[in-house]
Structure 1
């Protein structure tokens, strides 16, 4: 880093013998012990006009007993925390005003040291994502990905727009009733982003081999469909075969659930089934489809958020661990504990 400075969004403050840096967000902010004030002096000198050696010299002007190598080493440690940026990095016109707010967001939450925060929007722009199912979850996720700057989308769904979709599938209007969902979605998304590359497939998925082709052509795949019944198993098989990450986004009444799978890291979908879903349900009618625009929107936006975390490497959730949020008890969110199962017939032999 040529001209280090603290990110504006991470501006620190001092308390008694410590420094708080990175704002107040859990998972981002940190507290640094600084009983003698040396770290504060370093942060103050790192104003974006000095090289690391010049920063060390500025601090030594007031603290000549401190050796320069130790100060430069301390600067390197601060750089490694992700709270600093390089003031020598020029603005990137390819990012521009359109993505200025999301670039600022990633600057805040990203604790990975980078030469420039414009690396993140470029990673997003280079990504191609397949969205399996363009209903309530998938249409919201596709909209969020398009707005975020993803370079390309493949949309797969066999259905047409129906009146009952319009309470929650916000890409569609009454004028779209009877149209293939993928066509109507592609039209709305390219109105939002004329430069977006969209491939549409108005067809049902019928096998793991067919899904494997989609996985091989995508950086990440979103499963936002619940039919046919085998589709999760097909995605798991395709992901393990191609080592392509995928994200499952779903809801069950008030429960919203998102899971990131990143083979060969972490447990796979079959590991989850073996550990948590060995059940014998009471016979009877199937549960009716329960959904609102808010719950499906939450599921879709969280699915897109996790996909972007996978693409950028910025704070992805643990692989293979479902995260559940409860819309009727807003403080109730939890992660389902899962571990790689040594007896798993899908992934155990691949590790």
Structure 2
């Protein structure tokens, strides 16, 4: 980093005389620094984008005559590794045009805020989104919102798949459709709408049914992530199992959004697991025999569909951008009529998981069970 400066969102402030808070007040991002001698505060104040790290160390030695140069350098290096800084000298990336940088300026501010991995210029997440290819399967309540969010965020290639046409009952929650679209294939309408939302992304679509693991595996070829927004067929040999096994074999991360009355949730499954079937095995081990996991249902309002879709899109964006870098498989969500009941679950791998066994067989013989 040539000319480090503290990111505007992480401007530090003192807590008493011997501590510093940096990273704002966002839980999980902010940090505290013990600074009994004032060395860290002086370094932070000097990191304003006009000095090199070596210059900052020299500045500390001037301010504190008894400070050894090696210690001053150590203070600067420790701060720079924290991720609260950007390089004022970094040129904009060639991957993004001036118009794209203007369009995604708010994205940059978001990623700059939440990303604590030191980067060259801060646009790395946006460049990763532009290069990414995402398959959106299902364009209903969850899928229409997720597809819009992915296009608006700048995901470079989005392929939208749904078997249905627009029906009157869809209009209560499926954001991309209007009364003029009744009877039209959803995929065709979504491609048109998203092209008008963001002409710099490549959006394609097709009207087709997915009826097996093999169907989904073929669709998934060449994509970096799956947003599963379809919930039929349900059950122990339904579309979520197909998605899990296709993604396990392909090594593709995926997210599945859903709602069941007021409960809105998203499951996030990284390429290295634990997988969806590990999750269902964990839950079913604690339930009455014969009761199976079902994250979906017919009861929905526009807000619950929107939250579901945007949670799904955020999960996909996190996986593509690598923010947070330590993202693990999990389930999260909220209960709209009991907001104190936040959903968050990390689950372990199941030693008897049929999905993971499928991945191991696929890795050995290069195929996938249909």
2:24 paired with 1:23: yes
Aligned length: 346
Could you say what secondary structure the match of 1:198 adopts?
strand
* Range with bigger deviation, 313-322 or 170-179: 313-322
Of 226, 234, 237, the residue aligned with 2:245 is 237
2:299 paired with 1:294: no
RMSD: 1.8
2:249 paired with 1:248: no
Within 5 Å, which residues of 2 pair with 1:123-202?
A: 123-202=128-207
Q: Which residue does 2:111 correspond to in 1?
A: 106
Q: Is the CA contact (8 Å cut-off) linking 1:3 and 1:48 kept in structure 2?
A: yes
- Shift in Å, 1:232: 0.7
Of 248, 271, 285, the residue aligned with 1:263 is 271
Deviations 1:14-62 (A, max 9, x none): 1111001111111111111111111001101111111111100011101
Q: Which residue does 1:89 correspond to in 2?
A: 90
- Shift in Å, 1:320: 2.6
Deviations 1:88-138 (A, max 9, x none): 112456242111111111111111110111111111111111001000000
- Shift in Å, 1:142: 0.4
Q: Which residue does 1:272 correspond to in 2?
A: 279
Q: Is the CA contact (8 Å cut-off) linking 1:60 and 1:68 kept in structure 2?
A: yes
* Range with bigger deviation, 83-92 or 151-160: 83-92
2:46 paired with 1:45: yes
1:332, 1:75 → 2: CA distance? 42
- TM-score normalised per structure 2: 0.89
Deviations 1:150-208 (A, max 9, x none): 10111110000000000000100000000000111111100111222122110100111
- Shift in Å, 1:281: 5.9
Could you say what secondary structure the match of 2:174 adopts?
coil
Unpaired runs of at least 5, structure 1: none
Which runs of structure 1 show a deviation greater than 3 angstroms over 4 or more consecutive aligned residues?
Answer: 278-282, 348-351
* Range with bigger deviation, 309-318 or 331-340: 309-318
Could you say what secondary structure the match of 1:342 adopts?
coil
Q: Is the CA contact (8 Å cut-off) linking 2:151 and 2:198 kept in structure 1?
A: yes
